[in-house]
Structure 1
Amino acid sequence: MATQIDACAHAGRWIADYCAGAPAHDVLCAGDRAAWHATLEELAAVAPDGLGHARERVQRHAADMGTGFRIPGESDERPWPVSPVPLLIPAAEWATIAAGVVQRATLMEAITADLYGPGRLVADGHIPAALVTGSPHFLRPMVGLPPPGGHHLSFVAFDLARGPSGEWRVLADHLRGPAGAGYALENRLAVSRTLGGLQARLNVQRHAPFFAAFRAGLAAQCRRTDPRIGILTPGRYNPSYPEQAHLARYLGLLLVEGADLAALEGKVYVRTVGGLKRIDALWRRLDPRLLDPLAFDTHSQIGVPGLIDAYAAGEVILANAPGAGLLESPAVSAFLPGLAQHLLGEPLRLPTIATWWCGADPERDHVLANLDRMLVAPAFAARPLGLPAGPRPGPGLSTAEQQALREDMARRPQDYVGQEMVQLSTMPVVVDDRLVPRPFTLRVFAARDADGRWIVLPGGFGRIGEQADATASVIGEGIWSADVCVHGDDPVAPVSLLAAPDSLHVRRNPGTLPSRVADNFYWLGRYLERGEALLAAIRVMLGNSIDADGGAALADRTVGRLAGLITGAGAAPSPPSLRRADLTQFARTAMEDERHHSVAAINRLARAIGAGSRDRLSADMVRLLEAPFPSHRGLLDRAGSLQRRYAAIAGLSAEHMVRTTAWRFHDLGRRVERAMALARACRLFGMAGASADDLSTLLDLADSQISYRQRYPTGLARVAVIDLVALDPNNPRALAFQAQRIAALLAELPVLSDDEMAEPQQAQATRLRALVDTADAATLDADLMGEVEHRLTALSEAIARRYFLQGAEPLRAGGLTLA
């Protein structure tokens, strides 16, 4: 009770302090303070140390989910910034917003259908032809193609602004590949984990019914009763790729890139390890001009040749239809009020901010005459000469900038629009352990359900500006995001995407595995094992052997062989000498210098694969892969930290990954790489004439010192060491064990024929295992180990040819299945 009273007192004090300095049009101060009081009470209860602690807590939850984004031009992801204070909207106010969103989505569908169909709106003068044909988003090849499923638009988003008097207006339309729904979902999850009691306390409407309805809506447009649906992504370098991966996991959709798909005989297929599998619908996040090099941009390297032919034949759904982005142009906004009256017979319920297209003389003159009260923006996507930096508020233009703008507007007036300067409401955010007002905008989402009707996500996500200046022209993309909670008096049913217990057929097959994903998992295993093997060689050379008499005291011949092993891996140039200082620098280069194939460079390759497989890896695995390179002072300390990280990743792989086909490829990659490393180490350190230092080093590289000492306490003997490291099938670090696992894993992978004959990669694995199983420790020599390495290389190439469908591989190989 005392804690509850304290939380109530904290909330009351925070609100009083905040409203003493907030603008009158702030949503907290001018809204339902009881709901805001309840929200801040929840914050005070979970973060009694202050609001700063609450911000850290919600940010930590977002990080635990792997939420991130990338700024265009940057290679590293940034953490997704979530405010601990959600934006609260009463249910009655939201009903008005939702009705306006549905009306606007309906209007956009009608306009798009006409512009790519009969074209009456242009012919009758309701919209200028220049706005259609002059737009870079107008795709002429789509004219006259009726969309499969009957809809051009299946998922849309709109940016809204709340004015000082509480009215909502539309700032922008997003129709090509609307981003942000995944972030709205992640914001809700992060805030819900922080404010666990808020959902029931305020009857907050849930997101799950919207996403379930959207998924059902896509399926309903497909021709097959059990369709395969994917999210078509540009790949991991796309700014919102983490969001796409999260949506794929949440909705149970296949995350695919253009290289994963093939158009064949008028249909679209996913290239999988089991052959070509039919795909029925794609929720695309790829620029439409890059979709199909045969229909649009011939230079596209990430599209699917023939995709639009399959679309025209009605064999694949594309959500949204290519060309829908035509209506995103700010210039179109000037004509929407008239188009709403003409097509729907009613005014816009959510008006667009006042817009003047300068392609008509009166509007251009109006904009120029009122430049000091206007936001001037490009009419289309490209930036015209007069606005090299994009949209600019007229009052902020210098004399020279105004002159350049006027001159170019005289030459090409159709490239410009003028828009009113929108004053925004503010909401509370946490800055330096206190609440401060900041301007915000709201992105809302609408999607079609199984009946083709528009439904609206209750909430969306808020974008919050950095500065107190409350104009839409200043906020830009914002620097924080906020969950948006629609609350009311009626209890909300606990709906989720979990199906009813008896509505699903139980299965243990995790679904389709694209060849690209199998390739990624295979090489993730190889890179991790390669990095660990290289690190082991470095640690032995620096003196971290379990043998008290080894390591730093190794003979020069053994140290030279270790240096040769590291140099042969491409990790560093040969050291000038075997003096300790030169070896230390040599080891530092092999660990950290990314100009060579060092441990750091190998980790970077593994991290890149992890970043592109977020829909299939746990957040813990991604976090370990993306962890920065250790910065401990000593080289051995850094090496030890890396070794523990490799061990943690191996533990996650062994104990936390379900034994799916993807895991088998990952484990297969590990086994192939480990076998190669063991064969190489045996050839260097285990042949006839090997010294005690050589044999001890071989045991270290194979991580078998303890096993050997328990088995042979009397000392080192070459035949015993070789038997343990190369030929013992019960030693998980031995070559024989790897050969057995490789054969077993390949036997479990899909085959293309039903004649029960071994495929080439399986036959090669059987021959490799026979070679190792029949070897004798006493006669094992360098030629045999060289033959093992050769066969492993050939086996890896056979695996790639069979499963990874490389560029030269024909689409219809012998026995390739079509399903």
Structure 2
Amino acid sequence: MASQATSEGLFDARAEAARWLADYRGRAGTGDVVAHGDPAAWEAAFEELAVAAGDDLGHARGRVQRHAEDIGMGFRVAGDSDERPWPVSPIPLLIDEREWSGIAAGAAQRAELLETLLADIYGEGKLVADGALPAALINGSPFFLRPMVGLTLPGGHQLQFVAFDLGRGPDGEWRVLTDHVRTPTGAGYALENRLATSRTLGGLQGRLNILRHAPFFTAFRDGLAESCKRVEPRIGLLTPGRLNASYAEQAHLARYLGFLLVEGADLTVVEDRLYVRTIAGLKRVDALWQRADPRLLDPLAFDSHSQIGVPGLIDAFAAHNVLISNAPGAGVLEAPAMQAFLPALVERLTGEKLKLPNIATWWCGDDAARGIVEKRLSDLRIAPAFGVNPLGLPDGAVQGADLSPDQRNALLADMARRPQDYAGQEMVRLSTMPVVADSDLVARPFTLRVFAARKADGGWTVLPGGFARIGEHADARAAVMGDGLWSADVAVHGKRPVAPDSALIATDSTQIRRNPGTLPSRVADNFYWLGRYLERGEALLTIVRVMLGNSIDADAGAALDHETVGRMAGLVVATGAAAHPAQLRRPDLVQLARTALDAVEGWHNIPAINRLARNIAGVSRDRLSADMCRLLDAPHPTKGSMLDRCGSLQRRYAALSGLAAEHMGRTASWRFHDLGRRVERGVVVARLVRTFGMAGASADDLSTLLDLADSQISYRQRYLTGIARVPVVDLVALDPGNPRSLAYQVDCIAAHLDQLPVLHDDGLPEDQQAEALALKALLAATNAVNLDADQLGEAERQLTRLSEAIARRYFLQGAEPLRAGGLTLA
């Protein structure tokens, strides 16, 4: 083993692990999981930690965080413009398989109880009629959706995926803190934690026989598919968009499960069937794993102001033509007050007790319960009954003991006015687990989020593990832990070897395909403009570099003709990257270049263009490689001279171009990305030739044109007699063998459009193809001697019309009829 091999060298990992473990046990309390857990398992975990960390625990923490960032996961805090890295602790929470079996049984029981409650709430309503559930507890919830009452559901179930937050007391008892049924988040983070931790503690999986996550996700995917009408259903993950707090997790899950990541604008309902708008027309969607607020799913059924929903979606759902997981309205069960009734309800409905008990809860809408809460106010956590902050809790749940006299009086006064808005819950003390903080081991409280999913046979399966959320401070009260500072993998370990399962389908169980699948119109639009922005930024950067004197020609650059420099400055100004300098002195040009290169606000300069590209990458995580995302997310260089920063950016653009050329599959996504590059480059080259290559051009003009078109080497290899206008124009504008020429771009555009889907089978070119053919004809009908500014201007205009035709045909166009002539619904 790695740990044994290390212990034979100068560094003894086993001895270091034993020292850490003994020291930690001496400082941690008796309620810590290490004290209660399997000693051999924790010894193995600390040995692997020592192998990863050496004698510096901070190294292990940095290593696991780098792995997490390599995976590309992040999260967003409300108000932040950028995502934050997902924080992972290198030390997993270890749970023995026997203890886990009790947790899993309790989670499955609770999931089925919630399913039964929802079926009654939106069905016969017997529990309310019999007094087992107060009507105010249902009607008072903002997540009770009356249009769902009486609907029969596709597959017959309300819930397909649920999550529960558990707290472990110092005595080892697990209790449920919160139910998550509206849009349960975190499963993707559990996957990320497992990947990052296993890469850091490489030998732990085999040493402890840790149960794997993949079978759970496979069962969930199969369960959704089983409820669909078609044998090979199309399943989408509906996201609110990139500004959602867990968008990165949603993209990760969509890629892992093979689901389409879609937004509401991607979808439409036609004749009570749900379709996704794709480059090949409308394609049927059979199931949605929705991660948006259910109240916003359909403006015709729920919130009419929703801008992210799909009109008619609930009609398609009611017609059993699309499965929505989980069913809208499930959030009524998330009310903290609901937990006050679950222990009695499970006994009433099943004759059993809860295998995972709640924290004790009192709903103040009941007079007796309210009296208990008022009497024990200092000992309880006071929470909004329905998750919406009432007047007496402007900042959400509080511990009664922390209230000032004025706050206490205000709370009691509002509780007397509207008691149904409040719930009291017992304070729970949490177990602690080890975490690395400032290169030291400390004990911190934690909660555990577990996940249950419905299988193809209708039963429940529970993810063996989940993820632990670890508190920032040593205070072990659940109420003061908040959202936590770190997360950790949860490793369920056993005695038997674990088969190396994955989410991959057996190689002999499915038909081979070379069709990359459905490409939504929005995604095609994003890839097209990602290509255009990257090419636009690179073109502007090239002008700045040449203007600053970074020419391949040793005699050009800083000593360029005054008029040539003026033309370059005019190109920068025309792009909106800077204001025109008052004069063309060196200081004025440097300031112009600095504005184009560095100014943050007010200009369409290089940082602004790169932000636009980064925003597109933010909504395309499920289709871009981690390397490409990292390059697009990289901060703007700030150190060194302007030429140094230009060089850094140029290498970044080159790396992005190389990744696209060599690592992207030749799918429709790649074609639209390359189309964007070719259209933008064609516009730029046409403009450059018109600016620097017309009759009367000076040697400096022509040399600058070769620099800006990255064709100096090609020209010098081909022509040894010096610079002449006609050969330069032919190379840059008309030579189909020069990958930087206008003709080459047009040929590539036409070839891409010939490979993209068309709506008609009559053999006639569509508008975008006709525009490309016309542009090819324009260039074919001229030569370098006769090519003039008017023809180049017409080429620019045709490229613009071509871009508009591509957008009309393939991208989301709200004013365009949904069922255009020839459009096939599939």
What is the TM-score of this pair, normalised by structure 2?
0.98
Q: Is the 8 A contact 2:268 2:311 kept in 1?
A: yes
CA distance in 2, matches of 1:642, 1:700: 17
Alpha-carbon RMSD across the aligned residues, in angstroms, is 0.9
Match of 1:137 in 2: 143
Q: Which amino acid letter does the alignment assign opposite residue 751 of structure 1?
A: V
Q: Is the 8 A contact 2:735 2:744 kept in 1?
A: yes
Picking from 777, 780, 787, the partner of 1:770 is: 777
Q: Which amino acid letter does the alignment assign opposite residue 654 of structure 2?
A: A
Q: How does 1:577-726 map to 2 (within 5 A)?
A: 577-593=583-599, 594-726=601-733
1:432-461 superposed Cα distances (whole Å, 9 cap, x missing partner):
222110000000000011101000000000
DSSP 3-state at the match of 1:389: coil
Q: Is the 8 A contact 1:739 1:772 kept in 2?
A: no
CA distance in 1, matches of 2:88, 2:556: 52
Picking from 494, 503, 510, the partner of 2:516 is: 510
Is 1:780–2:787 an aligned residue pair?
Answer: yes
Distance change in 2, residues 1:766/1:415 (3 Å): same
Match of 1:532 in 2: 538
Match of 2:108 in 1: 102
Is 1:758–2:765 an aligned residue pair?
Answer: yes
Cα deviation for residue 49 of structure 1 reads 3.5
Cα deviation for residue 54 of structure 1 reads 0.9
CA distance in 2, matches of 1:816, 1:30: 64
Match of 1:728 in 2: 735
CA distance in 1, matches of 2:508, 2:102: 38
Unaligned runs of 5+ in 2: none
69-78 or 461-470, larger mean C-alpha shift = 69-78
Is 1:276–2:279 an aligned residue pair?
Answer: no
Q: How does 1:253-652 map to 2 (within 5 A)?
A: 253-593=259-599, 594-652=601-659
Is 1:4–2:7 an aligned residue pair?
Answer: yes
DSSP 3-state at the match of 2:45: helix
Q: Which amino acid letter does the alignment assign opposite residue 721 of structure 2?
A: T
CA distance in 1, matches of 2:780, 2:620: 36
Q: Which amino acid letter does the alignment assign opposite residue 469 of structure 1?
A: D
1:95-143 superposed Cα distances (whole Å, 9 cap, x missing partner):
0001100110000000000000011111100111111011000000000
Cα deviation for residue 633 of structure 1 reads 2.7
Q: Is the 8 A contact 1:429 1:437 kept in 2?
A: yes
DSSP 3-state at the match of 2:449: strand
1:617-658 superposed Cα distances (whole Å, 9 cap, x missing partner):
000000000000001231111111111100000000000101
CA distance in 2, matches of 1:329, 1:528: 47
Q: How does 1:183-222 map to 2 (within 5 A)?
A: 183-222=189-228
DSSP 3-state at the match of 1:28: helix
Report % sequence identity: 69
Q: Is the 8 A contact 1:70 1:238 kept in 2?
A: yes
773-782 or 602-611, larger mean C-alpha shift = 773-782
Cα deviation for residue 588 of structure 1 reads 1.1
DSSP 3-state at the match of 1:723: helix
Q: Is the 8 A contact 2:181 2:331 kept in 1?
A: yes
Match of 1:249 in 2: 255
Q: Which amino acid letter does the alignment assign opposite residue 6 of structure 2?
A: T
CA distance in 2, matches of 1:421, 1:692: 82
CA distance in 2, matches of 1:556, 1:767: 38
CA distance in 2, matches of 1:664, 1:485: 42
CA distance in 1, matches of 2:480, 2:39: 28
CA distance in 1, matches of 2:779, 2:375: 86
681-690 or 766-775, larger mean C-alpha shift = 766-775
Cα deviation for residue 539 of structure 1 reads 1.0
Q: Which amino acid letter does the alignment assign opposite residue 318 of structure 1?
A: I
DSSP 3-state at the match of 2:34: coil
How many residue pairs get aligned? The number is 819
What is the TM-score of this pair, normalised by structure 1?
0.99
1:497-544 superposed Cα distances (whole Å, 9 cap, x missing partner):
122121121111110000000000000000000000011111111111
Cα deviation for residue 2 of structure 1 reads 6.2
Picking from 118, 135, 155, the partner of 1:112 is: 118
CA distance in 2, matches of 1:602, 1:485: 44
555-564 or 461-470, larger mean C-alpha shift = 555-564
CA distance in 2, matches of 1:72, 1:750: 40
DSSP 3-state at the match of 2:315: helix
Match of 1:810 in 2: 817
Match of 1:44 in 2: 50
Q: Which amino acid letter does the alignment assign opposite residue 609 of structure 2?
A: I
Cα deviation for residue 577 of structure 1 reads 1.3
Is 1:165–2:171 an aligned residue pair?
Answer: yes
Q: Which amino acid letter does the alignment assign opposite residue 738 of structure 1?
A: Q
Q: Is the 8 A contact 2:37 2:96 kept in 1?
A: no
Q: How does 1:8-87 map to 2 (within 5 A)?
A: 8-87=14-93
DSSP 3-state at the match of 2:35: coil
Q: Is the 8 A contact 2:153 2:318 kept in 1?
A: yes
Unaligned runs of 5+ in 1: none
CA distance in 2, matches of 1:87, 1:560: 65
DSSP 3-state at the match of 1:301: coil
Cα deviation for residue 754 of structure 1 reads 1.3
CA distance in 2, matches of 1:462, 1:744: 51
Q: Is the 8 A contact 2:37 2:94 kept in 1?
A: no
Is 1:746–2:753 an aligned residue pair?
Answer: yes
Q: Which amino acid letter does the alignment assign opposite residue 782 of structure 2?
A: A
Q: Is the 8 A contact 2:454 2:461 kept in 1?
A: yes
CA distance in 2, matches of 1:461, 1:713: 67
Q: Which amino acid letter does the alignment assign opposite residue 7 of structure 2?
A: Q
Is 1:124–2:130 an aligned residue pair?
Answer: yes
Match of 1:227 in 2: 233
Q: Which amino acid letter does the alignment assign opposite residue 349 of structure 2?
A: L
Q: Which amino acid letter does the alignment assign opposite residue 62 of structure 1?
A: A
DSSP 3-state at the match of 1:29: helix
Q: Which amino acid letter does the alignment assign opposite residue 597 of structure 1?
A: H
1:143-169 superposed Cα distances (whole Å, 9 cap, x missing partner):
011111110000000000000100000
DSSP 3-state at the match of 1:518: helix
CA distance in 1, matches of 2:642, 2:270: 55
Cα deviation for residue 200 of structure 1 reads 1.2
Q: Is the 8 A contact 1:7 1:41 kept in 2?
A: yes
1:373-399 superposed Cα distances (whole Å, 9 cap, x missing partner):
011111112111111111111111111
Cα deviation for residue 219 of structure 1 reads 0.1
Q: Is the 8 A contact 1:592 1:601 kept in 2?
A: no
CA distance in 2, matches of 1:156, 1:649: 39
CA distance in 1, matches of 2:784, 2:124: 81
CA distance in 1, matches of 2:468, 2:755: 48
Q: Which amino acid letter does the alignment assign opposite residue 291 of structure 1?
A: L
